[in-house]
Chain A
Amino acid sequence: MNLSVNIGGLGLKNPIVTASGTFGYGVEYAEFLDLNQIGAITVKGLSPHPAAGNPPGRIWETPCGMLNAIGLQNIGIDAFINDKLPDLRKYDTKIIANFFGDTIEEYVEAAAALSAADGIHALEMNISCPNKQAGWIAFGTDPALTEKVVAAARKATKLPLIVKLSPNVTSIADMAKAAVDGGADALSVINTITGMAIDIETRRPRLSNIVGGLSGPAIRPVAVRMVYQAAKAVKVPIIGMGGIMTGGDAIEFILAGASAVAVGTANFVNPAASVEVLQGIKEYMTRNRIDDINSLVGGVIC
């Protein structure tokens, strides 16, 4: 059974990736599962300088999902490289560094700094966090700006460059094309969907940021649809994500057009979810006599 996939030059032994922001810096999960079994670990979004994130109330559970407005709190690229990466690179898995900046210059700075570190195999560019302010959101929602910021980061790295798309757009196909035109080697589809919840007794929003990103099984049908549309629009490989809890969920994304899948919110429900999803994929392949996972990509019959 062949489970290995290639994501824009990033070879993975299997299609399981952990989604950024749901797996810490990776090492925290070593006591819950064998990290060597995962195709790749995507670490929490990193910025050139440490970021404090949003004030508390940061999360709120909603039906079959959760809202979060963490606000990209992170230790900064230098601390990640010095304090976390040495432990992380001991594992036989690929490391994808998710990064962001507040300006195009910071995106370039981040991409360059991460590319110079030993043990990072690919970069995932976050242009789609719903919890940042208006000027920043334009990077992920205005196709012309998307192409511009991706092209700038592209020049700063030789590593495979994955661009994580926002679902909070009218046409995911247009955004996918813009990212590829800017030089993306692969796409992550999707980030969280902007949502809101209100405490009806106090009449206040549940989150201090007022709005937050919705994740979990609640968003899976939207994510599957967007992977399907993005895959039809561009030729580069797609990492599909959005509410994957089981191997069956992962297969659904692969049939929609994803070459790999990321397990996100499920890591909070079950820290070993990623390896259980992998097991479920294998069981599906055995049951359906599939020899190569790549033969399923985009295999939905419409």
Chain B
Amino acid sequence: MDNGYFALQVTPNVAICEPVIGQFFMLKPGEAIDPLLLRPFSFVDFIISPNDKYPNGLLMFLIGAVGKGTNILKRLAVGNRLSVIGPLGRGFPAVEDDENLLVVAGGIGIASVLGLTKVYHGVSLFYGIRTKEQIPDTEWFKYTEGNYHIASDDGSIGEKGSVLELLERYISQLRKSYSGKIKIYACGPHGMYKAMVRMNLDAEVHVSLETPMACGIGTCLGCAVETVNGLKVVCKDGPVFNLKDIIWDG
């Protein structure tokens, strides 16, 4: 893909636990000490049941090449070895039959929530991007069964403007015929989450946070965030949090 995003497939050399959507893996190529630390990445899809081609399954990542570490990952050749730890953290909670789930993604946040469309077929996906070049293959959206809504900053695809406005309109429409619980599972930039707080959406919102991390397993305490329940670590208490629990720093 020439949109700054790239796909990475990892074949584990040992059996892995079945991950929950919203959990993550720590990845790092080779033995280099610069960059030093592993980086957290959400998986976009996985094959867990062993088959002849993938005896320990397969992990698939969609990654934005934004910095030194991600660009090294982008340049990897088939057969290169990676350090991998995971699955880690707490993913999105299960959705009950009588609840209505809406999935929201901003930019590369699509990597973290796209898997929800596979678990909950036909779920509505709201995807905000800068421009149409950032759309991964529309094949990725097949599990929404056509139920995806796109907004782009430049109007080159979908509606011009904020995806949150699409979401808000959709909810008001939905509320005319549905009074039950609406859940929103979102992944995007933290600015998007702050906007969601301001909109006071008529829904229970769970979001996946991204912070710098060192260990990924809850020991270094480096990825702490302020919540109404005190400091929590994103790697172990999250990365998925109820939006109303997070205290934003201005």
Residues of chain A having any CB pair with chain B under 8 Å: 21-24, 28-29, 44, 52-53, 55-61, 63-66, 68, 70, 73, 216-217, 245, 265, 267-271
Contact = CB atoms under 8 A, between A and B. Distances in A.
A70 B223 CA distance: 9
A271 B85 CA distance: 9
B35 A70 contact: no
A73 B231 contact: yes
Contacts of B222: 58-59, 68, 70
6 contacts: A59-B220, A68-B220, A73-B231, A268-B38, A268-B215, A269-B83
5 A-B pairs with least C-beta separation: A59-B222, A24-B219, A268-B214, A268-B215, A64-B34
B37 A268 contact: yes
Contacts of A28: 217-219
Contacts of B35: 61
Interface in B196-224: 211-224
B215 A267 contact: yes
Given A28-B219, A59-B220, A65 B85 contact: no
A42 B226 CA distance: 28
Contacts of B218: 24, 28
Interface residues of B, number: 28
A64 B211 contact: no
Contacts of B78: none
Interface in B102-145: none
Contacts of A271: 85, 215, 217
B8 interface: no
B90 interface: no
Contacts of A56: 211, 223-226, 231, 249
A217 B33 contact: yes
Contacts of A216: 33, 36
A64 B220 contact: no
A65 B224 contact: no
B220 A22 contact: yes
Nearest to A68: B222
Nearest to B215: A268
Contact of B36 (A21, A265, A267): A265
B34 A63 contact: yes
A21 B215 CA distance: 11
Nearest to B28: A269
B221 A58 contact: yes
A66 B211 CA distance: 14
Contacts of A269: 28, 36-38, 83
A206 to B, nearest CB: 8
Contacts of A52: 230-231
A53 B37 contact: no
- Tell me which of B38, B217, B220 has the highest count of chain A C-beta atoms within 10 A of its own C-beta: B220
B153 to A, nearest CB: 19
Given A59-B212, A64-B34, A216-B36, A53 B221 contact: yes
Contacts of A53: 221, 224, 231
Interface string B212-250: 111111111111111000110000000000000000010
A11 to B, nearest CB: 27
A213 to B, nearest CB: 12
B214 A55 contact: no
Given A55-B226, A60-B212, A271-B85, A29 B219 contact: yes
Nearest to A62: B36
A98 to B, nearest CB: 14
Contacts of B37: 61, 66, 268-269
A257 to B, nearest CB: 24
Interface in B138-191: none
Nearest to A72: B221
B16 to A, nearest CB: 14
